[in-house]
A and B are shown apart, each in its own frame.
Chain A
Amino acid sequence: ETGVTQSPTHLIKTRGQQVTLRCSSQSGHNTVSWYQQALGQGPQFIFQYYREEENGRGNFPPRFSGLQFPNYSSELNVNALELDDSALYLCASSSMGQAAYEQYFGPGTRLTVT
């Protein structure tokens, strides 16, 4: 098992609400990436945080935002939830500059929007 943890495990929200998901990165890692994985699909890159700043972003609207804290943990915030936001949200920690750049995924948060 990786040292990456995510909370909560499961979450049910209503359309229009806001949600905050949390991720603690593996010790020694300084970069956190967030992914959205819809059922039966591969993870889609949302954004990446490095040194507390957004370091890159995928094709997701501004209502998806995030934070990274000095201890490298991270939050993903989604405003104005839509039904299509129902998915498994994965965070992955890694070490910027490391040659291998393998990503260690957390167990994910299963979000259901009704």
Chain B
Amino acid sequence: GQQVMQIPQYQHVQEGEDFTTYCNSSTTLSNIQWYKQRPGGHPVFLIQLVKSGEVKKQKRLTFQFGEAKKNSSLHITATQTTDVGTYFCAGLRNTGFQKLVFGTGTRLLVSP
């Protein structure tokens, strides 16, 4: 079946450093979404990318969708302690119904 892998599994940075998580799918995706889950919380939708090669920015966050629509990345510039959490990519596949396949997640810890 479809697999969506993320690297790294875990990253610990000092506040102010940059952070990047990479997402790779074994199959082509209709689109890709990114979610953030705070410790003890539930996933919260961040953004959706649809077009091949698409780049979107949200303040310090930059999201990219690969040309082949099989990979994506999330880059955070100048991390803050509020960025702590696990970041999941989720690929949307249209297989007769819309199914989200979540990646393995990258846990980010930011020290002040």
Contact present for B43 and A43 (CB under 8 Å): yes
From A42, A96, A104, A106, B102 is in contact (CB under 8 Å) with A42
Task: Compute how far the CA of A45 lies from the CA of B97 in the bound complex, rounded to whole angstroms.
Answer: 12
Contact present for A104 and B96 (CB under 8 Å): no
Task: Compute how far the CA of A107 lies from the CA of B37 in the bound complex, rounded to whole angstroms.
Answer: 11
Kindly report which residue of chain A lies nearest to residue B98, judged by CB atoms.
Answer: A101
Contact present for A102 and B43 (CB under 8 Å): no
Q: From A12-20, A53-61, A70-78, A79-87, give the one contacting chain B.
A: A53-61
Kindly report which residue of chain B lies nearest to residue A102, judged by CB atoms.
Answer: B45
Number of cross-chain contacts by CB at 8 Å: 53
- What secondary structure prevails in chain B residues at the interface with A? strand
CB distance from B39 to the nearest CB of A (A): 12
From A42, A45, A100, A106, B42 is in contact (CB under 8 Å) with A106
CB distance from B2 to the nearest CB of A (A): 10
- If the complex has contacts A41-B105, A100-B48, are A107 and B42 also in contact, measured as CB distance less than 8 A? yes
Q: Chain A, 1-22, contact with B by CB distance < 8 Å: what is the 0/1 string?
A: 0000000000000000000000
Kindly report which residue of chain A lies nearest to residue B31, judged by CB atoms.
Answer: A101
Q: Chain B, 71-100, contact with A by CB distance < 8 Å: what is the 0/1 string?
A: 000000000000000001010100111111
Name the A residues within 8 Å of B41 (CB-CB).
107
Contact present for A55 and B43 (CB under 8 Å): no
Judge if A65 is at the interface, Cβ distance under 8 Å. no
**Between-chain CB contacts (< 8 Å), 15 pairs:** A35-B102, A42-B88, A43-B88, A43-B102, A45-B102, A48-B97, A48-B98, A48-B99, A50-B97, A56-B96, A56-B97, A100-B48, A101-B98, A103-B100, A108-B42
B interface residues (Cβ-Cβ under 8 A, vs A):
1, 4, 31, 33, 41-45, 48, 88, 90, 92, 95-105
